[in-house]
Amino acid sequence: MNNENKIDICGLELKEFAAQIKETGEKTFRAAQIYKWIFNNGESDFNRMSDLSATQRPKFAKIFNAGILEIKRKSVSGDKMAVKYALALKDGNIIETVKIYDNQSLDKYTICVSTQVGCPVNCAFCQTARMGFIRNLSAAEIIGQILAAAFDEKNSSEGLSNVVYMGMGEPLLNYESVIKSIKIINSPDALNVSMRKITVSTAGVVPMIEKLMAENMPLTLALSLHAPEDALRDKLVPLNKKYNIKSLIDTIKKYTRTTKRRVTIEYVLIDKINDKKSDAVKLNELLKNIMCHVNLIPMNSTGNGFCAPSKNKISEFKNILVNGGTNVTVRSSRGQDINAACGMLYNEINKNINISSNSNSNDNDSGDGNQS
């Protein structure tokens, strides 16, 4: 079987993998052994799985892949707190994944995964939107990103504290793969990340938010709102023409009532676009009585004409929300110097790297050329 047709183990739940192992004529406990090698050690070479017999190793290697994605390029931010990975998919497409350290001792980190190659939502301020939409990722390709980033330079995934679905793509437009990957991330047999440490972000795909609500998963939902009224949101997040603010707010209210989970509202603050005092007042009004927390994210300048407001304007906006009774935090995005911050993932690497090459480049700091 050639590499492209092999089954990627990391995209299977353990019981599914055990069923596949049974089909090979081997005992199902082999599945748990291999699963441990992959998820506990980041091992992808069957020859190094010492508890498999000499005949089983080549036999499994013919049928299966671990599914850990290959790192084609790695960029480390100047403060060493963020690492952006360009990862190769089997079809030659490249996606980006970001590892963000939670503290200076670098012992805890969050991985931000992509769910699509490109994105169809076409938000005005987003670099990924410029790629257009190419395709959805499989569950294996989502998990393969986490394994690549977690086991980079380490043989343990200890330290992986959070997974956020905030990379390239709209997660809820790739619903089945996203849900399956969440189950694998959460499984004690696999990555064992608590549901409460998993965040799924959406630009507001209302029917899929309803569907997610019915899954009864205690994860965090993050809604990228970015504007308090339809006329402006239609321009910033064109999906708003389909699911307007009223329908979104109604759905979010239902979501919080049903799940008893607080929703995160993401609001990218853009100078002279959505940062007026009146916008803050309207936002307060909109979110009144909703169990939510607002993250204000000053726009990361990407050369597309949008930039962050001044510090004064940001704190003025924040204070209006605070005084109106809204929970709010101003988030500084890590990794801006490597274009790894919110809305900055964009890949031109395909043009620059020979996909068949095995050489990884390790670009320290900025200048990775991912921003046009």
Q: What amino acid positions are annotated as catalytic residues?
A: 96, 342
The reply to whether 128 sits near ligand SF4 by the rule CB under 6 A is yes
Q: How far apart (Å, rounded) are the C-alpha atoms in residues 288 and 232?
A: 20
C-beta of 52 vs 123, nearer to ligand SF4: 123
For tokens 């490249």, name the residue: 94
Q: How many CA atoms lie within 13 A of 233 on its CB side?
A: 23
Which CB, 44 or 300, lies closer to ligand SF4?
A: 300
Tokens of 315: 């704190």
Q: Of 28, 35, 30, 29, whose CA–CA distance to 12 is shortest?
A: 35
CA 333 to chain centroid, in Å, comes to: 14
For ligand SF4, give the closer residue by CB, 18 or 168.
168
Least separation in angstroms between residue 132's CB and ligand SF4 is 10
Residue 175, CB-side half-sphere exposure with 13 Å CA sphere: 13
Scanning 61-69, 115-123, 204-212, 314-322 for contacts with ligand SF4 by CB under 6 A, the matching segment is 115-123
Among residues 126, 147, 232, 248, which is the contact residue for ligand SF4, using CB under 6 A?
126
101 phi/psi in degrees, rounded to 5: -75, 145
Considering only residues 161 through 190, tell me which ones interact with ligand SF4, judged by CB under 6 A.
168-170
Q: What is the DSSP letter of 168?
A: S
Angle between helices 139-150 and 175-186 in degrees, nearest 10:
40
| Min dist. Cβ of residue 293 to ligand SF4 (A) | 19
Among 123, 148, 222, 225, contact with ligand SF4 (rule: CB under 6 A): 123
Nearer to ligand SF4, 136 or 157 (CB): 136
Tell me the C-alpha distance between 147 and 81, whole Å: 19
Q: Site map for ligand SF4, 188-217, x if CB under 6 A? A: ---------------x--------------
Chain residues in the site for ligand SF4 (CB under 6 A): 119, 121-123, 126, 128-129, 168-170, 203, 343
